[in-house]
Chain A
Amino acid sequence: MGSQDEEIEVRAPGLAVDFLDVSKAYMVNGKPLKALSSITLNVKEREFAAIVGPSGAGKTTVLNIIAGLEKPSQGEARVLGLDVNASNEHSLSAFRSANIGFIFQSYNLVSTLTAEENVELMMELAGWSDSGRNEKLTAELISMVGLTDRAKHLPAQLSGGEQQRVAIARAIANDPPLILADEPTGNLDQKTGLEIVKLLARLKGEKGKTLVVTTHDDRIVEMADVIFPLENGSLGSIDRPARVRN
């Protein structure tokens, strides 16, 4: 748990993610299974947060709550000022499509859409109806991730690294302030993973996004402004690297 200063910080404006004593429990075969135990964490805007921990620690559960896909069993969760507990499914969906970009470990592109269509889909979900503008922006994003000559390919025709680059383009297509990534390099080799790490760095540096990333990848951890270690649903000691503290 944080100090008095950090508790004040939790309530201060400029926080992209603000968890206060958040717990989450599931019923599995009739028995409660605690996924998170009284987590208190906050991520400032434009900050790069890494959540680390072994499998089953609760990392994906944290991302689900931030994205509004699940609600805490206890505690308060605010994301970009929105109270997750108090919001209904409709407003959470609208919030997600406008404010959050999601990058999955397994890419999870829509299998029947080409690379550029997957990116454009995000704009449509955000309610951007100007198809001409959408097409232009899509082309820019595809170019940014270096896939212009693969834009009309289906996900099944792309390699893992290419799919993940499309996923990154998709994640920022609706220009969200917050990007969540669940083990983005988990299924990639070293070299391809490095490309993804560089793209993530660009998102933070050039685009000024807030990133929350669950990862085992040391290269990503090294880039993080704050590291949240999770184990068995509990938060360990929060680490802010020296370069950040300084």
Chain B
Amino acid sequence: MEVWGALIGPLGFATKSLRRRGFHSYLAFLGLTLTVATTTFLLLLGQDLATRLGVDSSMRSTFGISWLIFAYLVLALGLIGIVGLLSTSYLVSSMISQHMRDIGVIKAAGALPRRLLSYVTFEALLVIASSCLVGALSALLAYASWSWPSISLFKQVGPIANAGATILIVVPMISFLLAYMVASVRVRRIVGSSSVNAISKQLANLDLKSLGKPLRIGRFGSAFNLATRNVSRDRGFNKTLLSMGVCICLSMIVLSGALVSADTSASYVVRAMPPHVLIVANINIYNQYVSLATSFSRIAPLPPIDYGNESYIISPQNASAFRAIPGVQTVDTRLITMSSITGYVRAHFASNQDTGENINTQIIPEVDTGSTNALIVGINATSAIGNWYTSDGFLQSSDAQYTMIAGDSLVGNIVQTPFNLSQVSALGYRYDVKSALVDPLNAGRVLYAPVETLQKSLGLNGFNVLLLKVNSDPTVLIAVSQLASSFGLVVGSQDPILNSNLTFLNDTWSHIFLVPILALALTCGILLSYVATNFSRRFNDYVVLKVLGANAWYRLRLLLWESWGVIAISMLIAIPVGWAVSIFFLVPDPSVSVGDLELSTIISASALTAVCLVSAAIYSRRLGFTTVKDLKP
């Protein structure tokens, strides 16, 4: 009796049942483990990247571009988490559905529902718990080998303290709880349903409404026609299609989002510092300007300099002389200086409505938002070289003389939103902030004001930096150099500065691209599990086909059409949706390269097609070893 008690207790039932299912139990365990491991690893990787980028770029980049990078990372990791949880839910649901017939048989044999519930739930719990545990350990090992020797599990990332350790515990735990909930609900539903329906698994799994004229394309052969009927008559087809579609869509958003975000951040830099631009200035100002322009991409101390030194000033007449050189398209005259600034939020009225009809209006006094040093650039709005990304437009000649545009690194601290209430005090004057822009200059700690206003503040009549937009004719450089030399000025190209900044950005993004690539790998792994699970449900039919005389090539084609057909339909819907979200909802004013969209599509389609090929090949090989004895009644 004791032996029987041990054998038919929940653990005995579970282990015997899992052993009996063999290959199918292994598939379920592998699928869940892969999902938990990859999701956890990706989130650990993401927090590691965020930590390293935060450390590396805290003194570099601009706030706007850093925000874009971190926002992408957060979004990507969030979407990866959703894919992981969706997949866990689907896999557990499929695993339980495969037990439906057995549950029905045991229930029909007289097992008490409560006992049956505990036995089947315990079996699912064994698989789920072991998958989550092995998955978490695998993720930790993979992460440790990736980030060796500087493993960061206990650093703060954003609001999350000890981010790595938190992820390592929370993700598998959430996966476990979700899987357990799904399993419990599913088992209860099956136990509560009619035994006949549970035993007659065939009928329960088939969509009778889809009978009728099936899709037949003679040219594609018998295997295609059979596959369309198998897939379209599967009750779970719509659910599978939706799950796959969501997974593919989310990974497309992560992949194409990375490409769009990278291109967009690069475009912000190029717009602020266009190519084919020459810098003309006194040698000291020139060196200082280069340091300011490259502070986006490298940390170097900025020596103090007297920007207003008479010897550095270029007269308006001299500046105009450059306009006369053939090949010079635009002369952007600038006066730059470094100054201490103080930010304010102006006093204003604020009103709120209480629960009744009373409206309370109160005066909010002026608020000092702090002080810092910033680069102030006096610029002529009509001849500015640069097409900055701005929030509310660049300076116009119609703007008031005490109007400023703030660099993105000042926003959120010195300059507050809404901008119409924000003011900056600099050089003894108060300026209204009109807008913000993304500018690599001085890593975004820059303010643009009308040059006449700055000249008046500094008591200067001239400029200390000229930017010349030129064509690609090499003789232009010679002519400009000759003229500059005659004024005691030096000439340099802005191209190396731009390239240096873009190289820094590309380097940052190249680390981040690991996330979408691994996310795609996660999706492929999950789809492999989906496809294999669907194959397992029709295992008996495939064996029958083999016994009836379907050769290996026919069976392979059937499996390929069944797997690739569903994935192809999912891709047709999900990939364009992924593009649309990446282009229209991810980043402001995106820069979209058709080549990048094509690349992301080709990569995704190739990877997903490879999933079909691998799954069909593996299953076809498995079928090769089956005989009549493997048929289930």
Contacts and interface: CB of A to CB of B under 8 A. Distances in A.
Interface of A: 60, 63-64, 67, 69-70, 89-90, 93-98, 100, 102, 104-106, 108-114, 117, 121-122, 124-126, 129, 131, 152, 154-157, 170, 174, 182, 187
A104 B552 CA distance: 21
A94 B211 contact: no
B550 A97 contact: yes
Interface of B is mostly: helix
Contacts of B521: none
Given A125-B549, A154-B233, 4 more contacts: A108-B540, A110-B226, A121-B222, A182-B628
29 contacts: A67-B547, A69-B627, A69-B628, A89-B552, A90-B551, A97-B548, A102-B547, A104-B547, A106-B631, A106-B632, A106-B633, A108-B631, A110-B226, A111-B202, A111-B205, A111-B541, A112-B230, A112-B541, A117-B229, A121-B548, A122-B549, A124-B222, A124-B225, A125-B548, A125-B550, A125-B554, A154-B206, A154-B208, A174-B549
B379 to A, nearest CB: 71
B549 A93 contact: yes
Given A63-B628, A106-B631, A97 B549 contact: yes
A40 to B, nearest CB: 22
Interface string B538-578: 10110011111111111000000000000000000000000
Given A104-B628, A108-B544, A113 B549 contact: no
B193 interface: no
B551 A89 contact: yes
B233 A93 contact: no
B200 A156 contact: yes
Interface residues of B, number: 37
A132 to B, nearest CB: 11
Interface string B181-225: 000000000000000000010110110100100001010001001
B336 to A, nearest CB: 75
Nearest to A95: B549
Nearest to A155: B202
Contacts of A100: 549
B215 to A, nearest CB: 13
A74 B314 CA distance: 103
Contacts of A64: 627-629
A111 B540 contact: yes
Nearest to A113: B229
B46 to A, nearest CB: 42
Nearest to A26: B629
Interface of B: 200, 202-203, 205-206, 208, 211, 216, 218, 222, 225-226, 229-230, 233-234, 538, 540-541, 544-554, 624, 627-629, 631-633
Nearest to B627: A69
Given A104-B631, A157-B203, A122 B552 contact: no
Contacts of B550: 93, 97, 125
A93 B551 contact: yes
B545 A110 contact: yes
B340 to A, nearest CB: 77
Contact of B624 (A89, A114, A170): A89
B549 A126 contact: yes
A96 B548 contact: yes
Contact of B548 (A70, A89, A102, A156): A102
Contacts of A102: 547-548
Contact of A60 (B218, B554, B628): B628
A222 B319 CA distance: 117
Contacts of A97: 548-551
Contacts of B222: 121, 124-125
A229 to B, nearest CB: 21
Contacts of A95: 549
Contacts of B211: 114, 152, 154
A102 B550 CA distance: 13
A98 B624 CA distance: 19
Nearest to A104: B631
A96 B549 contact: yes
Given A106-B631, A121-B226, A112 B545 contact: no
Contacts of A98: 549
A131 B219 CA distance: 12
Q: Which of A95, A117, A121 has the most CB of B within 10 A?
A: A121
Contacts of A114: 211
Nearest to A63: B628
Given A93-B552, A96-B548, A110-B545, A156 B631 contact: no
B549 A111 contact: no
B548 A69 contact: no
A154 B216 CA distance: 18
Contacts of B225: 124
A97 B545 CA distance: 10
Contact of A156 (B206, B234, B545, B552): B206
A90 B552 contact: yes
A186 to B, nearest CB: 10
A93 B541 CA distance: 16
9 closest pairs, A vs B, by CB? A97-B549, A93-B551, A96-B549, A124-B222, A156-B203, A106-B633, A156-B202, A112-B233, A111-B202
B628 A94 contact: no
A145 B550 CA distance: 24
Contacts of B624: 89
A98 B544 CA distance: 16
Contacts of B233: 112, 154
Contacts of A106: 631-633
Contacts of A113: 226, 229
Nearest to B227: A112
A182 B200 CA distance: 23
Contacts of B218: 129, 131
A169 B377 CA distance: 90
A109 B205 CA distance: 15
A63 B627 CA distance: 11
Nearest to B210: A112
A107 B544 CA distance: 10
A152 B218 CA distance: 21
Contacts of B545: 110, 125
Q: Which of B222, B547, B548, B633 has the most CB of A within 10 A?
A: B548
Contacts of B200: 156
A70 B629 CA distance: 11
A124 B211 CA distance: 20
A103 B622 CA distance: 23
B629 A60 contact: yes
A100 B629 CA distance: 18
Q: Which of B545, B551, B628 has the most CB of A within 10 A?
A: B628
B205 to A, nearest CB: 8
B547 A112 contact: no
B229 A69 contact: no
B562 to A, nearest CB: 10
Contacts of A108: 540, 544, 547, 631
A1 B240 CA distance: 57
Q: Which of B208, B226, B549 has the most CB of A within 10 A?
A: B549
A112 B229 contact: yes
Contacts of A110: 226, 541, 544-545
Nearest to A182: B628
A87 to B, nearest CB: 12
Contacts of B229: 112-113, 117
Nearest to B542: A110
A60 B629 CA distance: 8
Contacts of A174: 549
B551 to A, nearest CB: 4
A111 B544 CA distance: 10
